[in-house]
Amino acid sequence: MELNLADTKKWIELFVEKVEDNTSELNELDTAIGDGDHGSNMARGMAAVTDALAKKEPSDLAELYKTVAFAMIQKVGGASGPLYGTAFLDMSKKVKETTDLAELVQVGCDGLKRRGQSDVGMKTMIDVWQPVAESLKSDNFSKSIVENALNATKDMVATKGRASYLEEKSKGHLDPGSQSSAYLFEALLEVLGE
Amino acid sequence: MKYGIVIVSHSFEIAEGVKKLISQAAPDLSITTAGGTDDNEIGSSLEKIQKAVDDNTGDEILAFYDLGSSKMNLEMLMEMTDKKIHKYDVALVEGAYTAATLAEVESPLATIETNLEPLKIK
């Protein structure tokens, strides 16, 4: 499965829209187990993405992913800046070799693992990215894959990130980064028309 | 001098405070800071870290940080810069103070790192 430049741009624009529509939901999730600013931070990043794309129309996929990466790295402020930034930056490098979405999402996910020094099962964004990457590989990417991955973070005990200070008390809450990542992949589903 | 110190904190005031504190022990050392976001709110800024590294006159950088995204932004910069940066997962204040004291008298890196070892907390 792959996306051309116009559809990838549409994907990002839909992601921006979803984050902006759900900023307070993301803040609320983060208030439960973090410092309450994931929505505001992401919204700041999304505004920067919109500005950057308006300022200069990317001429290819690598440039598009890189533009998104830099906007988020520079403007988010919280940990999600370098995390999303690294994922998109690694995707911008990989897309020069392949446009296969499964490979791109996996490279992004590997970037998250490297930057956050974490892995699946730690109640982080990776718990959404990894199942999505795998479903793209086996050609069964769907809304339920995203929903199930997101909902599975609810019963996890956080062992990375700020929520890990709460230990057992982090149980019972969705991971905010997984929720924003779910918006990213729901946006992708919409572009793919599924 | 051989080594300069960079302080990365989520808070502008913490970064400046640590600098003020360790400057007393190391008046000749290049100490630069990256505290808070671009608007000096709580958070971290890759741009500020970049500037702190660029402005530092040390041949090599000893870098100290506090929380999650400070570390991640610092590591991101380390992948992007040609300057040699040593990052330490130690208590920020005690670690920076120890390193500054030793770097001021031009101690070798091995000595600095031996003294930082017991301060490792993350």
CATH number of the domain at A135, please.
1.25.40.340
- Please indicate, yes or no, if residue B122 is contained in any of the structural domains: no
| Cα end-to-end distance, chain B, whole Å | 28
Q: Which two tokens stand for residue B78?
A: 């380390």
> How many distinct structural domains can be found in chain A?
1
Q: Is residue B77 part of a domain?
A: yes
The closest CB to that of A79, out of B37, B47, B69, belongs to B69
* Residue B100 lies inside a defined structural domain of this protein: yes
- Is the separation of the CB atoms in A13 and A111 below 8 Å? no
Interface of B with A (CB under 8 A): 37-38, 41, 43-47, 67-69, 72-73, 75-76
Chain A CB contacts of B49 under 8 Å are none
For tokens 């950088």, the residue is B61
| Residue A152, pLDDT above cutoff 90 | yes
Q: Which residues of A are less than 8 Å from B69 in CB distance? A: 77-79, 81-82
Query: Are B72 and A79 within 8 A, CB to CB?
Result: yes
Model confidence at A163, pLDDT cuts 50, 70, 90, reads confident
- Does residue B101 fall inside a structural domain? yes
Query: Which entry of B3, B10, B45, B92 is annotated as an active-site residue?
Result: B10
- Residue B87 counted as domain residue: yes
Determine, yes or no, domain membership for B93: yes
**pLDDT tens-digit profile of A45-70?**
999 999 999 999 999 999 999 999 99
Rg of chain B (C-alpha set):
13
Residues B21-31 pLDDT 10s: 999 999 999 99
Contact B76 A78 (CB under 8 A): no
- Answer whether residue B56 is part of any domain: yes
Query: Which residues form the domain of B54?
Result: 1-117
- Pairs of residues, one from chain A and one from chain B, whose beta carbons lie less than 8 Å apart: 42
> Best of A76, A125, A162 to disrupt the B interface by mutation (most B CBs within 10 Å)?
A76
Q: Is B86 a catalytic residue?
A: no
Q: What is the DSSP letter of A100?
A: B
Q: Give residue A148's domain range.
A: 5-192
Residue B13 sits in a domain whose CATH number is: 3.40.50.510
Give pLDDT tens digits for A65-90: 999 999 999 888 888 999 999 999 99
Q: Does B16 fall in a domain?
A: yes
Q: How many CA atoms lie within 13 A of A154 on its CB side?
A: 7
- Helices vs strands, H then E, count in chain B: 5, 4
pLDDT in tens, A77-135: 888 999 999 999 999 999 999 999 999 999 999 999 999 999 999 999 999 999 999 99
**b/e burial code for range A134-154 (CB count within 10 A of at least 16 → b):** bbbbeeebeeebbeebbebbe
A122 Cα to chain B: minimum distance (Å): 15
Residue A162: per-residue pLDDT: 80
Q: Where are the beta strands (DSSP E) in chain B?
A: 3-9, 31-35, 60-65, 84-88
> Based on the structure, what is the number of domains in chain B?
1
Q: Could you say which residues of chain B have pLDDT below 70?
A: none
Question: Which of B37, B67, B73 comes nearest A82 by C-beta?
Answer: B73
The Cα B68–Cα B52 span in angstroms is 18
